[in-house]
Amino acid sequence: MFQILLPADFRERHRHIVFEFLRRGHEFGRDEWRQIIIAFDLLKNAAVLTDRGLLPFPVIYRQQVEDRYAHK
């Protein structure tokens, strides 16, 4: 089991733009890119609490995205 810990200033509008990015980020215009950058910057302070401890979002991102896809 796990729990996602979001920063206090991560609001509904940030959640919305993150999900929009996952759905159609390739279609984003300039304003949407500004919004998603703000949301991702906020997520740098997010974490996942698991049975094994606290995993900061940047660590999860590196392990699950960068290490798998960015360096190939």
Number of domains in the chain: 1
pLDDT digits (tens, 9 = 90+) for 11-46: 999 999 999 999 999 999 999 999 999 999 999 999
Check residue 43 and give its pLDDT. Answer: 95
How far apart CA 28 and CA 45 sit, in angstroms, is 24
Which residue range is the domain that position 46 belongs to? 2-70
Beta bridge partners of 5: 47
Check residue 63 and give its pLDDT. Answer: 87
Q: What is the DSSP letter of 10?
A: -
Is-above-0.75 flag for pTM? Answer: yes
